[in-house]
Amino acid sequence: MSSAKLNQLPLTMEAPWTHPEPLTDIPDGETNLLHCSAWSDVNNPLRVVFKAWYEFPHDSGTERVDIFLDDDEDNIIESRTWSLPIAVDDYFIEIGANKLLDGEHKLSYIMTNFNGLPARSYPYTLTIDKTQPQLATDSTLIFPPEVSPPNSLTATYLADQVNNDQVLATIPDYTEKKVGDVITWYWASSDTDVEVVDTLTLKIDDITGGLPQLAFSGSMIRNSGDGKRYAYYQIEDRAGNVSLDSEHIELQVQATLTPRNLPAPKIKEASGTGNTVILDPMNARQGVTFVIPETQDIHPGEKVRVLWGREGKPGYYVSEWVELPLDRLISVLKAYMPQNMGYSFTVKYQVQIMDGSANQGIDSKTLTVNMNMVQSSGLPYAVCASTSVSIGNFPVDGLDVTLELEWFWILPGQYVRIWAHGVSGIQPAAEFVLEAGLEATEANMGDTITWKITAADLAPFKIPSELTVVTVFSFDDKETWMKEDQDRKYFLDLEK
């Protein structure tokens, strides 16, 4: 039967498919692209698979399938004849790689049955790509002139904020770019010591708008060490065809950070010289000021931060990274002062390391600060409504004890403890607690708080005797309490 007559046959056979199956389609990519592994192994050629064309196969005669491309029935690329019946798993034809041409094709077939009657299939679109990506004639990565030979890739270049702790390289444009191309770039010290830096998969915008630059991070460069290093890349298309390596560019790397001389800070409000100073709380009523010493090892544009107090404890403070002010002064607010009274601690500043991590810094030398406790004369104490009380004529509602929540450096999160002690009627001493730990808050600061001493509270005490009402404070979230102090006591005479 002639081709012209065959072309008039209705499409009655279902379209074939392949095993292995094509890759999943991606936006702007090829249709039904076969990975090269589907056809490149001569011992496992591509199979074109058909659906069985009979529900109940005939058991005698022969049948034939002719596979052709692109509606050209004369362009038969493979044929197969079966002796009936056909086994259910035998409906396929193997196609050698040499018969699969580059490009997008329509794969169709004509089945001629045991009576010699032909039937044509619907087409199956398939894309074959056998061509490896072709790099530019000069494929060498293009680095900024500041780091390209004869210059070196230095720590100063990476530390420059403009460069964001990395160096970028441009790929020379290449022909036949395709969506799904994967660019892999490498960093090597020799032919055997090679590190994969990263990979990049091209999207349509990369094809139409220009190839992205490749980033070599500062951390990777530093970890690789100094000396001669080689950078290059390779491209693999979505079908698995791999380009040759690009030309290697030799770079001289001097990225190791050199030690810096960062003298200890000074605290403007503290007194003393040398490595240890004394800070009077009265001098830090508005906070403290770090003085960053003059040094050649803080470079223009670098950021610094200060660290104050006891790490992990109340009152510990780490400032934000800021460019070093012209006056070299950085303030710490008064909110971080009270919690550190009575302690000795070290302070320092840091210079930011440009390694992609916002929390890393080079430490300065440390300064030890001995911060005194505030004088007790500056703190209030609980006061009874009278200086003496008669047990026999004790107030029915109890005796008022008051405290004004107003003192030097009062801040939310500070605490008050009040208790009373004296001579016991049967034991050497007796006591009771009026307040275990009242917290100063935004709501109650400045208020006068009242407690009651009841007759029952006084029952254990010897009469007559003296009752001592003690007031103490905690400025560090109850980690420590001030010692009992004569200046913060109230004495109440107990009478019969």
Could you tell me the CATH number of the domain that includes residue 118? 2.60.40
State whether residue 282 is helix, strand or coil. helix
CA pair distance 2, 8, nearest whole angstrom: 10
Span 139-144, mean pLDDT? 97
Q: How many domains does the chain have?
A: 4
In terms of domains, do 365 and 381 share one? no
Residue at 283 is within a domain: yes
Q: What is the pLDDT of residues 76-122, one digit of tens each?
A: 999 999 999 999 899 999 999 999 999 999 999 999 999 999 999 99
The band of 378, judged by pLDDT with boundaries at 50, 70 and 90, is confident
- Same domain, yes or no, for 21 and 106? yes
Lowest average pLDDT, out of 56-70, 125-139, 411-425, goes to 56-70
The pLDDT-based confidence of 377 (bands split at 50, 70, 90) is: confident
Average pLDDT over residues 428-445: 93
Q: Per-residue pLDDT tens for 155-205?
A: 889 888 789 899 999 999 999 999 999 999 999 998 889 999 999 999 999
Which pLDDT band holds residue 409 (cuts at 50, 70, 90)?
A: confident
| Other C-beta atoms lying within 10 Å of the C-beta of residue 250 | 10
d(Cα 178, Cα 161) in Å, to the nearest integer? Answer: 34
Q: What is the largest CA-CA distance in the chain?
A: 135
pLDDT of res. 7? 52
Q: What is the pLDDT of residue 360?
A: 66
CA distances, 301 to each of 156, 168, 229, 341, 384 (Å) = 12, 21, 28, 35, 61
Segment 223-242 mean pLDDT: 96
Question: Could you please report the per-residue DSSP string of 355-392?
Answer: SS-TT-EEEPPPEEEEEPPPPGGGS---EESSSEEEST
pLDDT category of residue 257 using cuts at 50, 70 and 90: confident
Q: Does residue 6 have a pLDDT over 60?
A: no
Strand (E) or helix (H) holding 277: strand 276-279
35 and 99 belong to one structural domain: yes
Closest CA to 383 of 495, 494, 493, 491: 491
Same domain, 398 and 485: yes
Model's pTM, two decimal places? 0.59
- Look up residue 153 and give its two tokens: 């890739």
How confident is the model at residue 10, as a pLDDT?
A: 64
Answer yes or no: do 401 and 482 share one domain: yes
Q: How many CA atoms within 13 Å lie on the side-chain side of 99?
A: 18
Q: By residue range, what is the domain housing residue 390?
A: 377-495
Residue 259 lies in a domain: no
pLDDT-based confidence at residue 282 (cuts at 50, 70, 90) = very high
Name the pLDDT band for 3 (thresholds 50, 70, 90).
Answer: very low
pLDDT at 155: 87
Q: What is the per-residue pLDDT for 121?
A: 95
Is the confidence at residue 288, as pLDDT, over 60?
yes
Residues 106 and 8 grouped into a single domain: yes
pLDDT exceeds cutoff 80 at 359: no
Is the same domain home to 21 and 103?
Answer: yes
Report yes or no on 143 lying in a domain. Answer: no
Average pLDDT of the chain, as a whole number: 92
Q: Does 133 fall in a domain?
A: no
Q: Name all contacts of 96-99 with Cβ < 8 Å and 24+ positions apart.
A: 96/42, 96/45, 97/39, 97/40, 97/42, 97/45, 97/46, 97/130
Is the pLDDT at 8 greater than 60? The verdict is: no
Q: Are 241 and 130 in contact (CB under 8 A)?
A: yes
